Each structure stands twice: as C-alpha cells, then as structure tokens.
Amino acid sequence: MNIHRPLVEDQSYLRHFWHPVCTLDELKQSNPDGVGPIGAVLLDEPLVIARLDGEVVAMRDRCAHRFAKLSAGKIIGSRIQCPYHGWEYGASGKCELIPACPNDPIPKKAMTPGYDCRVKYDIVWVRLDSSWDLTEVPYCSAWDNPEFERVIVAQPYDWDSSSERRWENFTDFSHFAYVHPGTLYDPAYSEPAIVPIDRVGGEMQFFMEPGKDMLDTLPPESPLGSWTYRAAMPFSINLDIRLYKTGKPFLLWTTSSPVSHDRCRNFMIIAHTDAELPDEEPLNFQKIVLAEDQPVIETQPGGLSLEEVSLPTDKVSNQYRKWLRELANAASNGKEAFEHALLTDIVESR
Ligand code: FES
Ligand SMILES: [Fe+2]
C-alpha cells in the first residue's frame, strides 16, 4: 500500500493527552515492595515508573551520568537508584546523591525530566506535555454505575500495530461478519449500520443496535445488546452494552497506548453484574475475540494513509480520521486552536 501521504505528518499533538502506561497490579508485581521501578515506552519515550513516598511518579528512563536505564535500578527510600554507579534521583527527577563524590555540589544537569502522572481505574497514566492542561484521563463507566458487581482490570496486551489502527478495529462495524463470525456476529449481517456521531466534550459518541436474532446463533458469552460508545480522543473507547438476554449492563472499555508509530499497548476493563462469574470467563472470551483481530490488524501498516479507500459505511473511522487531522493541525497552531478543535461540540444525533 502506498502510505506516502500519511493522514497526520506530525504526531506530537499526542503528547498533550493522557495515556496509560502500566496497571497498578504490574507495579505491585514488580518487586516484593510493590514500588517499582518498572520501564514503559510512550510515544518512543522510555519512561521509568515508580512509587516514591507513596506517590506514583514517571520520569525519562535515562540516568544523566552515562545514560543507563533507571528502570533497571532500585528504590532506596524516596529515591530511584541508578544500577550503574548509584546516583539517586528524587521524585522531581533531580539527582540528590552522587556516591562517588558525596562532598561535591551536584551538577545542575544531573537530572532526568519528570512527567505528569496519575493513577485512575487502577491504571497509571502519563501526560508527556502538560503545558496546555486541556485534557483529562479518558472516561470509564465502570466506576460510575452501581449495577456493576464486578470490575476486572485486565493484563495489558501488546500489538505490532498503531493505536489508531487498534481504535479503528474496535469500533469497526464492517469487520464483525468477516473477522468474528460465530463469536461476535452472524455473517448474515454483513451490511453495517451508518449511525449519527456526536462530538461532545472531547469524545466521539454513537450508538448501535446489532440484530436481535443473532441471539439464536451466537455463544452465550457473546455480549450482544445495544451498544453505546463514548470514545475519548484519541485512543479510548467506553462501550456500554445493555445485554439483550438479561437487560443488564456489560462494559467493555479499552484504551490503546501509543508505544511507537507501529506498536501499541492495550488496556482493557470489563465490568458486569454477575458477582459469581469467575473472571476467566469474560477474559477468555475476549482473548478469543482478540486472537481473531490481531493477525489481521498486524498486517496493516501502522500509519494511517490518505491513499486508503473509504466507504460511507466507514463513517466512524472517517469521522475519527477527520478529527485526528484537525487535532494535529490545531496543535501546531497553539493552545487556543487545540482547545477549539478538541472541545467544540458537534451534535448530529438530534
Ligand atoms: S550511569 Fe547512572 S550512575 Fe552512572
Ligand atoms: Fe474485532
């Protein structure tokens, strides 16, 4: 495929958004104290994540001395210690101890940049550029709806694909009949709906009702119901499902984290109303679905291209791409333009 005309030339606008980098569980598993450090990569930037004095922090994963990775070091009290010569860094990213010359002043450049870091939904989030402070951690309804008895924060999974492709894959109505026949969809429903799409508060919002008669052919674990999407830009999707079978809610939430232009780390939350159901059941069903998607999506090039041929039935993807381009262009024109592009509501549904 000719990808010489990329949809977006400059990806730096993505630095203004919050992205997930690891789960709290991963941080807890990282060592017996549960404080890290662990390494992650976000938009090609290597990060070290650690809990220092109770606070989760994120910094560039590079010691200023000889560029060893701090994520290979350890936590000493409230500092991260470099594994190579023992320099110790505090929560701000400044080096606070150089054991080789304990009586000399610490050079000003002996620091590593720190990034804004938050814990939400038992997931650690990082924003690389907080200079405009216009973005929020994406919406997840699992913590909002008291009907949910069980909320599962799944182990993240990595794909050789971009976050844009993963987002489009999750919201693509046309692929169900081909990639998920018998799991999510009956192949007889191969002509997808074209739905109204709203932009509200930095989210794409839309609604879809798959055919009810698929209940007869799909396995009982298949979350067939009315699907309400709230997709916080750029890579998050909160899919609230009202199950046809029981009338109860079921949540599939996913946010793709852009490791690089062709690599993504994907976070998933499943919430449901059956307190007795072992977590393995919905998780295993999702694993089957993901194993159907992954080999297809990994054949696509990471970058989105203006050469791709779009149909009216690709409306969700078409609108998504339009918005990505607007955001990228606006970001190069400054804070006000970016705020306007992200937060101007456009409502089609009424
Ligand atoms: S490379 Fe980190 S202390 Fe020398
Ligand atoms: Fe899929």
In this structure, which amino acid lies at residue 35? V
- The C-alpha angle 46, 48, 50, rounded to 5 degrees, equals 165
Handedness of CA 126, 323, 171, 11 (dihedral sign): negative
Per CATH, domain 18-127 is 2.102.10.10: yes
Contact between residue 262 and residue 162 where contact means Cβ atoms under 8 Å apart = yes
Q: Which two tokens stand for residue 51?
A: 């809990």
Regarding the beta carbon of 87 and ligand 1, being less than 6 Å apart is answered: yes
Q: What percent of the chain lies above the pLDDT cut of 90? A: 89
Q: How confident is the model at residue 3 (pLDDT cuts 50, 70, 90)?
A: low
Peptide bond into 32 cis (omega under 30): no
Distance 119 CA to ligand 1 centre (A): 29
Count of helix runs (H) and strand runs (E) in the chain = 6, 18
> What single DSSP character describes residue 185?
B
Question: Distance (Å, rounded) from C-alpha 165 to C-alpha 97?
Answer: 44
Regarding the beta carbon of 306 and ligand 1, being less than 6 Å apart is answered: no
> What single DSSP character describes residue 136?
-
Site to substitute for ligand 1 among 61, 69, 70, 84, most atoms within 8 A of C-beta: 84
Q: What mean pLDDT do residues 278-305 have?
A: 97
pTM: 0.96
Question: Distance (Å, rounded) from C-alpha 312 to C-alpha 46?
Answer: 39
What digits encode the pLDDT tens for the residues 65-94? Answer: 999 999 999 999 999 999 999 999 999 999
Per CATH, domain 141-343 is 3.90.380.10: yes
Distance 84 CA to ligand 1 centre (A): 5
Among all bound ligands, the one having the nearest atom to the CA of 184 is 2
User: Where are the domains positioned within the chain?
Assistant: 18-127, 141-343
What digits encode the pLDDT tens for the residues 293-318? Answer: 999 999 999 999 999 999 999 999 99
How much is the pLDDT for 144?
85
